[in-house]
Chains A and B, each alone.
Chain A
Amino acid sequence: MTLTFTNARLIDPETGTDSIGSLTIEDGVITGINTTPTGDVVDCGGKCLAPGIVDIGVKVCEPGERHKESYRTAGLAAAAGGVTTVVTRPDTTPAIDSPEVLEFVARRAREASQVRMIPMAALTKGREGREMVEVGFLHDAGAAAFTDCDRVVTDTKVFARCLTYARSLNALVIAHPQDPVMSKGAAVTSGKFASLRGLPAVSPMAERMGLERDLALVEMTNAAYHADNLSTATALPALERAKAAGLDVTAGVNIHHLTLNELDVGDYRTFFKLKPPLRSEDDRKALVAAVADGLIDIISSMHTPQDEESKRLPYQEAASGAVALETLLPAAMRLYHAGDMDLPTLWRALSLNPAKRLGLEGGQLAEGAPADLVLFDPDAPFVMDRFKLQSKSKNTPFDEQRMQGKVLATYVGGKEVFRKG
C-alpha cells in the first residue's frame, strides 16, 4: 500500500530542516521525499510531519502492577502521544532481570500494543546492586539497554564489573546518577521553598557526585554509558568534560525537568513529586540550553504511572513519578513556543538521538527508514484534562494547564495507529 503526505511541514532532525514538502511511504517504509505523489494522498494542510517519538525510559507496570498501566493502555497512550517506539523500564515488580521475564514482557507487548515496544533489562538481579544479571542472555533476547533505573548501584566494585562486562558485549548501561546517601528520603530539592514547606530535601550536588563517580568508572572501563534523568545545572560541566575526553557517554533529561520547577509543587501537590525532584528555575533553564546545544542528547517522558491511592498521601509518603506518554509532545511544544529551540532540534532529542543511541531504526525522514511518523499541529491550544488520558493512571502534573500542540495522527510501520477524532 502506497500513501503520500502532501503539503506537510516536514521536520527532519537529521538534516535539521523544517520545510513544506511531501513524503511517500510504501509497505511500511519511507520511499520518497518530495517526489511525485503516488498512491492515496493525505493533504496535511501545512501541519507538521515528523519521525515518531522514540521514548526511552517508560514504565509499563507489567508484571506486578497492571492496575496502574498495562501494555494495552501504554500502547494506546503512546499512539495518542505520537510515540512510535516505547523503550520500557525494568523497574517492575518483580524486576525484568532474567531472560524469562524479558520474554514474558516482550510477548505481552507484541500481543497488546500497536506501537513498537522495546524492553530494557535490569543491570543487577532484583535491582539490588549486588549481582549482575545474565547480561549476555538478556542482550541476545533483545534487551536494548541495562539499567537499575532510580536505584543506584552503590557498590562501586559491582558497578565497575557490570560496566566491564557490558562493554565486552557492546551493551549500553543507563543510570540515573545520584548520591544515594545524600538523597535518601528527600522529597524536594533543597532551598528556600523546601525550607518553607518543611520537607526533607536533597542538594543538587548529590546528582553531580553520582555523575562524577559514574564517569570515573566509565573512564576506567570504557563502557557505553547513558546518564539519564539529569536534573541539575551543577552536573552539566562534568558531562561536558566526559564528552570532550571522548568517552562513550550520552545524557538524557525528562520533559518535566525541562518545563516545570520546584515552585510548581505549591501547597504539597503530589502529582509534582518526581524523582529526582523538580529543581530551581536556574536548573531548568540550564537543562533547556543543554538540550538546545546538544550537550544533553535525549528527552524522554520518564512515564511513571501511579494510582490515586499512592498519590493521595502526605507529600513525604506519596509515590514519585508522573505519566507523560501523551503529554510529552505538547509539553515539549512549550520549549518550541518559548523560542528555546526549533522543531528539528527538539526532534533530534525526542526521536533521532534515542534511536541512534539504542541502535534502533527510526528518527529519520529518509528513504528506506521505517514509516514511523507523527502528524501534529504545533499550535493547537487545549486545556489538559487528566481524565481524558489513555493511561490507566492519571497522575499528570499538567492537569488543568493550558497547552499547545496536538497529535493529529500517528503511524507505525506505515499503519495508522492513532487519528484525532
Chain B
Amino acid sequence: MRFDQRHLLGIEHLKPHEITEILDLADQYVDLNRRQVKHSDALAGLTQINMFFENSTRTQASFEIAGKRLGADVMNMAMQASSIKKGETLIDTALTLNAMHPDLLVVRHPHSGAVDLLAQKVNCAVLNAGDGTHEHPTQALLDALTIRRAKGRLHRLSIAICGDIAHSRVARSNIMLLGKMENRIRLIGPPTLMPAGIAEFGVEVFDDMREGLENVDVVMMLRLQKERMDGGFIPSSREYYHRFGLDADKLSHAKPDAIVMHPGPMNRGVEIDGTLADDINRSVIQEQVEMGVAVRMAAMDLLARNLRAKDGLQGVMV
C-alpha cells in the first residue's frame, strides 16, 4: 500500500494509510527543518505556483517555504489583483496557467468546490490550500502531526473542536481525518455556528464548554471571523468569550495533560485567553506552525513522486 493520489483536494479522498504515510514523511522533514542547512532536492526542477484567490499570509508563506526548501521554483500569484477582476473565468485562468507547465499548483479559493473544478482542467498536481467552507486538508494534516507528536499516537483519543464549526473548512477536514483515524470527536459551540445535519457525522455535539471538554485529550479552538461576531450568529464577542472562550477554568475540565491547539490567526480574548495561548506547557500553537511547513513538504514530495512516475504523460490532457 502506498500513497496513490494525483492531487490533494481534501481529506475525504485519503485512506488512513495514506494519511500515515504523509505524517511519517513529515516527521523526517521536521528533522530537516531543525537543521542549520534546511535543504533537499526532492522538488528540484519542478515549478510550484501558489494561486491565492483569497487573502492568506500564513498558509501562503508556509507553502512557499516548503517548496523552496525542497528546491522547487516557487511563484506566488495574488489572484485577487489580477485576471479575475478582468472577468476571466476560473477555468480560463486554469488553462492559461496549465500552458506554462507548472508541476504543483497550490490553490486557495473563496468558493467550495472551486479547487476540485480547477483540478479537472489541469495536468499538474493540485493542492487545496482551502476552498470556501469545504476543506483545508494540509491544516488537518499538520494538526494530526502535532497531535501525534504530542500524544504519541493518533487513535483512540478524545478530541474537542470548539467554536464556529459551521463556517470552518478546518473543522470539516479535521472531523474527517480524526474520524478516519478512529478518534472520539466532540464539537462544542453555539447552535447557530453548528452546520445542519451535524449529528450524522459520527460526532458528539455540545453547547456547553465545560461539559464538552470533560476528560478530553486535545482541545482544538477555531477562529471566529470578525464579521460573525456582532448579532448575526452570536450576540456579542464578550458573551461569546464568556460562554465559549477557552480559559484556565474551562480547560480544567479536560485531562490534566490535554493540549491546546488553534489554527491561527488568534483572536485573543474572543475565542481564547491570551495567557493560555502562550502557556508552553499546554499550548502547541507554535508547534502547529512548524508542523505546517513539514507536512506541506511531505505532501508535495509525495505528489511529485507520483507525478514523476507518470512522467510520460506530462503535457497531455488525461
Instruction: Show the binding face of A for B, using Cβ within 8 Å.
Output: 190-199, 201, 203, 267-268, 309, 312-317
Check B198 against A198 for contact (C-beta < 8 Å): no
In the complex, are the beta carbons of B112 and A191 less than 8 A apart? Answer: no
Q: How far is the CB of A197 from the nearest CB of chain B, in Å? A: 6
With A197-B134, A198-B135, A198-B172 in contact, do A314 and B196 touch (Cβ < 8 Å)?
A: no
Closest residue on chain B to residue A203 by CB atoms: B196
Q: A190-B197, A314-B111 are in contact. Are A309 and B135 (CB under 8 A)?
A: no
Closest to A312 in B: B91
Total A-B residue pairs with C-beta atoms closer than 8 Å?
A: 71
Tell me the dominant secondary structure on chain A's binding face.
loop
Taking a contact as CB atoms under 8 Å apart, the answer to whether A194 and B197 are in contact is: yes
Dominant SS at the B interface? mixed
Write the nearest CB–CB distance from A38 to chain B, whole angstroms: 59
8 A Cβ contacts from B159-184 to A: 166, 169, 172
Instruction: Give the docked Cα–Cα distance between A314 and B90 (Å).
Output: 8
A to B CB contacts below 8 Å, 29 in the list: A190-B196, A190-B197, A191-B196, A192-B198, A192-B201, A194-B195, A195-B172, A195-B197, A195-B201, A196-B172, A197-B134, A198-B113, A198-B133, A198-B134, A198-B172, A199-B112, A199-B132, A199-B134, A268-B112, A268-B117, A309-B89, A313-B89, A313-B91, A314-B112, A314-B114, A315-B111, A315-B113, A316-B111, A316-B112
In the complex, the answer to whether B197 meets A197 with C-beta atoms within 8 Å is no
B109 interfacial by beta-carbon distance below 8 Å: yes
- A291 and B76 CA atoms in complex are apart in Å by 56
In the bound complex, do residue A315 and residue B112 qualify as a contact, i.e. CB atoms below 8 Å apart? yes
**Most chain A Cβ neighbours within 10 Å, of B111, B112, B113, B195:** B113
Do A312 and B116 contact each other (CB < 8 Å), given the known contacts A194-B196, A198-B132? Answer: no
How close is A291's CB to chain B, nearest CB, in angstroms?
A: 27
A314 touches B117 (CB 8 A): yes
Known interface pairs A192-B200, A194-B197, A195-B201; 19 further A-B residue pairs with C-beta atoms within 8 A, sorted by A's residue number: A193-B197, A195-B172, A195-B197, A195-B198, A196-B12, A197-B134, A198-B113, A198-B131, A201-B196, A267-B116, A268-B117, A313-B89, A313-B91, A314-B90, A314-B114, A314-B132, A315-B111, A315-B112, A316-B132
Which residues on B are within 8 Å of A, measured CB to CB?
12, 89-91, 109, 111-114, 116-117, 131-135, 166, 169, 172, 195-198, 200-201
Contacts of B172 in A (CB 8 A): 195-196, 198
Query: Cα distance A203–B135 when bound, in Å?
Result: 22
A312, B113: Cβ atoms closer than 8 Å:
no
Bound-state CA distance A191–B134 (Å) is 14
Q: How far is the CB of B96 from chain A (nearest CB, A)?
A: 15
- By a CB distance below 8 angstroms, the chain A residues around B112 are 197-199, 268, 314-316
A346 to B224 alpha-carbon distance, docked (Å): 51
Q: Which of A191, A195, A197 neighbours the largest number of chain B CB atoms within 10 Å of its CB?
A: A195
Q: Is the CB of A268 within 8 A of B116?
A: yes
| Interchain CA distance A71-B298 in the complex, whole Å | 57
Q: Which residues of the partner chain A approach B111 to less than 8 Å between Cβ atoms?
A: 314-317
Q: Could you tell me the distance between the alpha carbons of A10 and B12 in the complex, rounded to whole angstroms?
A: 51
B111 to chain A: closest residue by CB? A314
Q: Which residues of B contact A309 (CB under 8 A)?
A: 89
Residues of A within 8 A of B116 (CB): 267-268
In this complex, which of B12, B117, B135, B200 has the most chain A Cβ atoms within 10 angstroms of its Cβ?
A: B117
Cβ–Cβ < 8 Å partners of A267 in chain B: 113, 116
**Chain B residues near A201 (CB, 8 Å)?**
196
Q: How far, in angstroms, from A123 to B9 measured CA to CA in the complex?
A: 46
